[in-house]
Each structure stands twice: as structure tokens, then as C-alpha cells.
Amino acid sequence: MTLATHDVRWGAGGRMIVDGVTLDVAPNRVLGLIGPNGSGKSSLLRLLCRLRRVASGVVSLDSRDIADLPRHELAKRLAFVEQQATTEVQLTVCDVVRLGRTPHRAAFASWSAEDERAVDAALARVGLSERHDQLWHTLSGGERQRVHIARALAQEPRELILDEPTNHLDIRHQLSILALVRRLRLTCVIALHDLNLASLFCDEIAVLHEGRLVAAGMPASVLTPERIARVFGIAVEIRCDEAGHRHIAYVMDHEPGT
């Protein structure tokens, strides 16, 4: 166990938004977090990264309460790729990725060859090496998303938290980013909306509904038509192809657009 929550609660605006979530993230595995809009996915991810403090319960890293970890130590271990992260407009792509090296550098230390290698490797991994010097604000939405993933990789974390990292990406880049996340062999928690991508790329899936964890486990056991109907309010059929891959097909009771 590296990252875990025990009975974590957090509320805002007079209501409970994350309501008693207990979850273990297996080391070096990808946990997909799914749930309808507003079910508390981003809020839970922010609690995992200590960007918000729990109202009650514990988030732990290697069995230590993250509330007790020095900020610097937490930043070396855990990287977060936020949904629609913004960045100062006058920075170049490599400036943004270099920010990922901050936790590894002592105050006033000069930029090292190791830092530069980590930045170059991170940009290469997301396929943006040739954009090294481009101004960040001139990138497309999908390219910005990949730069933020590179920034997180430059941090060389052991735990990687991603909030809908496939937003803005075309289908090829959605597949390549999720394949990359799998290849990294880090402990990953990743909020996703696409149930088929979650099923294909995640080792385990956790389902949030109205702030509560309603299921967690292997994709095939969690993503059943009954549960999808209950949580998302839609009808689906599960089809298996010849290779044994499951495909979740949406059942329309009328033709789209009619």
C-alpha cells in the first residue's frame, strides 16, 4: 500500500462532498476514479494531494498521515496534473516542465545536468520535444495538457494523480497518454469520464456517487450494466470482442438527434 484513504470526509457550502471514502491504491497500479459530474472526483483527488485538508479521516502515504509530511517531501513523492491547469502566459514549454524539478532542487542551487535530462526525457515521453522553446500560451488545448503531464513526469514522482488528463486530447493522444500512464509503472489515480477507456487502461476502478465510494475493484466486476444504470442513469450492454476485450455500448431508446 502506498496511497490510501480512511473514512475521508470533506464538505463545502454547507454540504458533504466527499463522504466517508476508504480506498487503497495498490503500488505501481493504475486506479481509475469514475462517477457522474459533481460526484466528488476532483475534490477527492485534491484531498489526496493535500491541496485541501480533510475535515475528518486520514489520507496516508506509506502508512504515514500526509498531514504530517513536510511539504517538500510530499512534493518529491507525489505529482498532480489538474484539470484545466493554468500557467503564466509568458513561459515557454520547457519553463513549464522545469517547474516540475522544484522539489528536487535546494534553494538557490544552480540548474544541473540531471535536471535538464529529466526535463528532456519528460518532454520526449509526451511527444513534444520539438516544442521545447514554444510559448506555452500559443499551444493548443491538447498540447498544453501534454505539457502539464510532462511537468508532472519531470518531478519524477512515485505517485501520480491525474484529473481527467484526456480532456482536450484527440483520440490518438487520449490513447497514447493513457498507454504512457500504464507504462510508467507508477502508483496512479486517474479521474476519467470515458468508461471504455477506464476499463481498458485501469487495473482497478473506483466509483464515486454523490461523494460516496459505491464500488472498487477490477473493471469487469465494477462496470456492470446494473451499476452503470444506478450511478449514471443510462442503459448499456457489455459486448466482448474476439480478443476478450469488453466494450460498453450505450443503448439508445431512440435514434440520436430525434
Give SS3 for 51: coil
- 42 scored as a contact of ligand ATP (CB under 6 A): yes
The piece of 36-44, 57-65, 125-133, 249-257 that touches ligand ATP (CB under 6 A) is: 36-44
Buried b or exposed e, range 41-54, using 16+ CB within 10 angstroms: bbbbbbbbbbebeb
CA distances from 77 to 51, 72, 129, 163 (A): 14, 9, 25, 17
Burial (0-12, 13-18, 19+ Cβ within 10 Å), 71: exposed
For ligand ATP, which is the closer residue by CB, 167 or 224? Answer: 167
Q: Judge contact between 23 and 29, C-beta under 8 A.
A: no
Nearer Cβ to ligand ATP (97/231) = 231
The answer to whether 54 and 8 are in contact (CB under 8 A) is yes
Write down the least CB distance from residue 70 to ligand ATP, Å.
Answer: 26
Q: Considering the complex, state which of residue 35 and residue 100 has its C-beta at the smaller distance from ligand ATP.
A: 35
Least separation, in Å, of the C-beta of 41 and ligand ATP? 4
Contact 57, 213 (CB under 8 A): no
- Would you count residue 145 as binding ligand ATP (CB under 6 A)? no
Residue 167 touching ligand ATP (CB under 6 A) = no
**Closest by alpha carbon to 191, among 19, 66, 42, 67?**
42
Q: What angle do CA 31, 37, 43 make, to 5 degrees?
A: 60
Q: Which of 48/149 has CB closer to ligand ATP?
A: 48
Residue range at the interface with ligand ATP (CB under 6 A); choices 33-41, 55-63, 147-155, 197-205: 33-41
Is residue 17 close enough to count as binding ligand ATP by CB under 6 A? yes
Task: Answer yes or no whether residue 43 interacts with ligand ATP by CB under 6 A.
Answer: yes
Q: Which uninterrupted H or E stretch holds 241?
A: none
Q: Which is nearer to ligand ATP, 17 or 188 (CB)?
A: 17
Sign of CA dihedral 49, 55, 60, 66: positive
* Residue 14 sits in the site that holds ligand ATP (CB under 6 A): no
Binding-site size, ligand ATP (CB under 6 A): 11
| 23 binds ligand ATP, rule: CB under 6 A | no
Residue 40 within binding range of ligand ATP, rule CB under 6 A: yes
Distance from the Cα of residue 84 to its chain's centroid:
12
Asked if 209 is part of the footprint of ligand ATP (rule: CB under 6 A), the reply reads no
Q: Which residues of this chain interact with ligand ATP, rule CB under 6 A?
A: 12-13, 17, 35, 37-43
